Amino acid sequence: MSDEKRLPLSGRVAGATLPPQTQAFRDGRSHSQVGQRPFEMGLRAPDVMIQLINGEQVDDPLYTGLDVCNQEDAGFCADN
């Protein structure tokens, strides 16, 4: 694709909110961070498996949340 057809990048977005990425956010190396919550996933997984083994219904999909940090609201990235 030629340079004149490329859209300009408006910012850098990283796909995690682990300590190295949140530090990069605080250092100004990214403008936004979006991260899953692996601890929450691991915490809920055994309970969900037991429910399924017992033939119970579980929500599909299961939403464990996201951590979102941006220039307007540092949120989770401010202290982690």
Q: What is the pLDDT of residues 19-67, one digit of tens each?
A: 888 898 899 888 888 888 888 999 999 999 999 999 999 999 888 888 8
Per-position b or e across 12-45, b if 16+ CB within 10 A of its CB: eebeebeeebbebbeeeebebbebeeeeeeeeee
Q: How confident is the model at residue 70 (pLDDT cuts 50, 70, 90)?
A: confident
Residue pair 71/32 in contact by the 8 Å Cβ criterion: yes
Question: CA 38 to CA 11: how far, in whole Å?
Answer: 26
Query: What's the pTM value of the predicted model, to 2 decimals?
Result: 0.62
Three-class secondary structure of residue 50 per DSSP: helix
